[in-house]
Copies of this chain bind each other. A is one copy, B any other.
Amino acid sequence: MAESTALPLVLLAEQFARLPGIGMKSAQRLAYYVMGMSDEDTKAFCDAVMNAHSSVHMCSVCMNFTEKELCPICADESRDRGVICAVESPKDIAAFERTREYKGVYHVLHGLISPMDGVTPENLKIKELLDRIAAGGVREVIMATNPTVEGEATAMYVSRLVKPLGVKVTRLAFGLPVGGTLEYADEVTLFKALENRSEI
């Protein structure tokens, strides 16, 4: 931003630019937008940020974000505690819940192993997962990390620690996305779809 811009606006734009997926141009536009907001709207926005940050913490069991001691899923008596779906982040839980088919519980790892970004296994909630399994009653752990290099590495790492505890470890299936076309499938996905073909 040029010298003609008021300093608080420059500082605000810099704050917006620190958020993921927001470049300097968008950050400037957002800063100018805030100038046009009413006092009430501005306060409501800041209150929402501070409130979410202060009142939301991790579920003591599955590490999902919640306001209470237990998240709604861990508190739900009807969920099958014998199956744990291990995911990278809380938003992945929302994706699984949308399927309305999964009746087990979750465990949020809060990241994926990525030595390039300085994320080691110690930074993830792996110990908490092993503690849950050690407490007993768990039959299966579904590794539901993304099908990326980091997601695969994390799934392999966690499975090697979980298997010796006598628990079945599974991985999400690879294949063609439903509604997709063969033409646009990449070769690795197509190979996986071929490899994992099932009889009809």
Residue ranges of A at the interface with B (Cβ–Cβ < 8 Å): 1-9, 11-12, 14-15, 18-21, 26, 28-35, 37, 39, 41-46, 48-53, 55-56, 64-67, 71-73, 89-91, 93-94, 97-98
Contact, CB under 8 Å: B97 / A8: no
User: Complex: how many Å from CA A65 to CA B144?
Assistant: 49
Name A51's contact: one of B2, B8, B32, B64 (CB within 8 Å). Answer: B8
Closest Cβ of chain B to A94, distance in Å, is 4
Name the B residues within 8 Å of A12 (CB-CB).
Answer: 48-49, 51-52
Name the B residues within 8 Å of A21 (CB-CB).
Answer: 26, 29-30
Contact, CB under 8 Å: A65 / B97: no
Contact, CB under 8 Å: B94 / A4: yes
Name the prevailing secondary structure of the A interface residues.
helix
Beyond the given A18-B45, A46-B46, please list 8 additional residue pairs across the A-B interface where CB-CB is below 8 A. Answer: A2-B93, A2-B94, A3-B97, A4-B71, A6-B71, A12-B48, A32-B89, A34-B49
Name A8's contact: one of B2, B56, B71 (CB within 8 Å). Answer: B56
Name the B residues within 8 Å of A52 (CB-CB).
Answer: 6, 8-9, 11-12, 31, 34-35
Name the B residues within 8 Å of A91 (CB-CB).
Answer: 28-29, 32
Name A44's contact: one of B2, B15, B42, B45 (CB within 8 Å). Answer: B15
Closest Cβ of chain B to A69, distance in Å, is 12
Contact, CB under 8 Å: B48 / A15: yes
> Can you name the residue of chain B whose Cβ is closest to the Cβ of A37?
B53
> Can you name the residue of chain B whose Cβ is closest to the Cβ of A50?
B46
Name the B residues within 8 Å of A48 (CB-CB).
Answer: 8, 11-12, 14-15
